[in-house]
Structure formats: structure tokens, C-alpha cells
Amino acid sequence: MANSDTYAGVSSPANGKVFEVETRVKSNTEVNGEYRLLILDAPQRVLDCQPGQFFHLLCPSTLENAPYLRRPMSIYGYYPEKGELHFLYKVTGEGTRALAELLPGDALNVLGPLGKGFSIAKDWRHLLLVARGVGLATLAPLAQEARRRGRKLTAICSARSPEVLMSVDLFRGMGAEVITVTDAEGSSGMENIEAIIQGRIDVGEVDALYTCGSNRMLRLLQKIGAEHGIPGEIALEQQMACGLGMCQCCVRSFRRNDQIVHERVCREGPVFDMQEAMAW
């Protein structure tokens, strides 16, 4: 419907401005059996993004799928020089099925960039991230930013089998060191990941931890972070209606100053302090 692209005076807490814009699909291809890469031709003004931010996509209505609400998607890549916005998504339900039907040239209305992204403090030289599944999409831009700022980044990529380690090339391409762990090889267990991270810490190569998604990973990294006094951040998900902070549907609980507080994933997040986050 609406395709005006109004200037967002109240900015998202982290950095930029929010716009509702009509984009064009450049390509929308299968990456492997489960994931798809959507590349949009997007106006410059929405490409001033931060790693960890997301867009709210108005998925099209098709004959079989009629998603009603928008769908939140992490920014997998933003390239102002090419005018491109990338999303990596997994087809799970009505909205993503409708996304999967988009063809080059089709229009897609997006709202963003939204939310608060990852931070990289001045003195964090060595960053370590642990990603699994579609969490790769959320963490990929962090690697890009780390390189831009000249930080060293280690990515532990976890997956079911080696074949689905799709972003390894991407992380490598951005100069990150990549460690893969898979269910198939039996290397993706929490103990093994803990051992890998411990090894890095032992040689003084972890200044900050990043992850997103799973509860088990959150607990593990919270433990490691607490033991060694290493700060960390986690990107969280929650059902969203407005994506802007108005409806309060996307709250999660956080531990802060010995109290439980509720914060909106779309507005105060989706990136939160690792120690404050609560498993769910």
C-alpha cells in the first residue's frame, strides 16, 4: 500500500534513521536445501546500517500464502556502493514461503533499518562469535565491520553436517578465522565448543563474545564470560507486530541490577548484553 519513504526523525537507538521504502528484487536464490539469499536493490538512505540491525519485511500475498503481519529479518549484508541489501532466510512458514516466491524485478516493501546492533568497544581486539543455522545471517555483518575496524575475528560455525556450512566462505572472505563444528562429525557439542573457546582464552585471544539464537549457547557463553570477565552480546528473536516499539509484543526478560526488567527486542534490541539476557 503505502510506499512513501518518510524520514525518520526519531532514530533507532543505535544509529540511523528508519524508512519505509519500496525495493526491487535483484535475485532470490537457494543457497542450499534450507536457506535462501534475497538480494534487494535498495535506496542509499536505508543502507546506513549497523551489524545486528534488522528490517521488517512486508512479504507479498500469493495464491497460497497470505501473511498479514510484517516479518523481521536480520541484515545479512548491506552494500551502499552497490545499492544492495541482503537477507539470508530459512523457509519456515507462510511469510518466508511468500518471500521465496519473489522473482527478480518484483517489488518488496521494507521498513528499516531497525533496532540496536552489535557494539565493538575500542579495546576489543579479538572478537569471537558462535553461530548456528540462520544465526549466521545475523552475525555475518559483524565480521565485515570487524575487518573495517581492523579487529581480529574468530567465527565458530556450527551446523548439522559439513555441507550446510554455507557462510564459511563469507567469513573467510572477510578475513575471519573460521572453525567449523558439526553434528555429523560429533564436534558441535557444548563441551567441544567450550574447549575450543577455552583454548582461545588461554592464549589471550578473546576480548568479546557474540552469538544469537539458542538457549544452550547463551548459557555456555554466559558461564564462560562470567568466569573470565569477558563481555558479550547476544541477538535475540521474538514475535513482532510493529517492529518500531509501539505495540510491546516483543518483550523479553533481562536481569539488571538484581531486578527482572522487560525490554522490547525491536527497540532496545535485538542485540542485548549477554549477561543480562535470560534463557527462555
Partner 1 sequence: MVDLTTRLGAMTLKNPIMPASGTFSEDLAGVIDFNTLGAHVTKTITYEKRGGNPTPRVCEVRGSMLNSIGIPSKGIDHFIQHVIPYYRQYDVPLVVSISAHNADDFARICQAISVPGVDAIEVNISCPNIEDDGKAFAMRPSTTQQVMTRLRGASDLPLWAKLSPNTGETIEVALAAQEAGADALVVSNTLLSMAIDIQSRKPKLGNLMGGLSGPSLKPIALRMAYQCSKAVDIPVIGCGGISTVEDVVEYLIAGASAVQIGTATFINPTAMPNIISGLEDYMIRHGIADLTELIGSVRDDDAADSVVFMETAP
Ligand X SMILES: Cc1cc2nc3c(=O)[nH]c(=O)nc-3n(C[C@H](O)[C@H](O)[C@H](O)COP(=O)(O)OP(=O)(O)OC[C@H]3O[C@@H](n4cnc5c(N)ncnc54)[C@H](O)[C@@H]3O)c2cc1C
Cβ-based neighbours of 223, under 8 Å, separated by 6 or more:
none
Residue 243 binding partner per list a second copy, ligand FES, ligand FMN, none, with a CB distance cut-off of 5 to 8 Å that depends on partner kind: ligand FES
Using rule CB under 6 A, residue 94 touches ligand X: yes
In the complex, the smallest distance separating the C-beta of residue 97 from ligand FES, rounded to whole angstroms, is 22
Among 138, 131, 30, 165, residue whose Cα is nearest residue 76: 138
- Contact residues toward ligand FES (CB under 6 A) are 240-243, 245-250, 264, 266-267
Residue 112: which region, alpha, beta or left (left: phi > 0; alpha: psi -120 to 50)?
A: left
Which residue among 180, 214, 238, 275 contacts ligand X (CB under 6 A)? 238
- Give the Cα separation of 266 and 33 in Å (integer): 29
Q: Which stretch binds partner 1 (CB under 8 A): 3-11, 154-162, 188-196, 226-234?
A: 3-11
**Cβ contact 101:66 at 8 Å:** no
Using rule CB under 8 A, residue 70 touches partner 1: yes
Residue 31 binding partner per list partner 1, ligand FMN, ligand X, none, with a CB distance cut-off of 5 to 8 Å that depends on partner kind: none
In the complex, the smallest distance separating the C-beta of residue 3 from a second copy, rounded to whole angstroms, is 13
Using rule CB under 8 A, residue 58 touches partner 1: yes
Residue with Cβ nearer partner 1 (44 or 186): 44
Residue pointed to by grid coordinates 500475498: 61
Q: Nearest to ligand X by Cβ — which residue?
A: 93
Edge to edge, the sheet with strand 84-90 lists 71-74, 54-58, 107-114, 19-30, 35-41, 84-90, 77-79
By CB under 8 A, the residues from 219 to 238 that bind partner 1 are 238
Which residue among 54, 78, 210, 254 contacts ligand X (CB under 6 A)? 54
> Would you tell me the crossing angle of helices 190-202 and 215-228 to the nearest 10 degrees?
30
Binding mask 84-113 for partner 1 (x = CB under 8 A): ----------x--------------x-x--
Tell me the β-bridge partners of 154: 128, 177
> Residue 74: exposed, middle, or buried by beta-carbon count in 10 A (0-12, 13-18, 19+)?
buried
**Hey, how many other C-beta atoms are within 10 angstroms of the C-beta on 196?**
17
By CB under 6 A, the residues from 97 to 156 that bind ligand X are 134, 137-138
- Give the Cα separation of 135 and 253 in Å (integer): 21
58 membership: H or E segment, kind and range? strand 54-58
Using rule CB under 6 A, residue 247 touches ligand FMN: yes
Residue 36 binding partner per list ligand X, ligand FES, a second copy, none, with a CB distance cut-off of 5 to 8 Å that depends on partner kind: none
Q: Which residues bind ligand FMN (CB under 6 A)?
A: 241, 247
Q: Which residues bind partner 1 (CB under 8 A)?
A: 1-2, 4, 6-11, 17-20, 58, 66-70, 94, 109, 111, 238-252, 262, 267
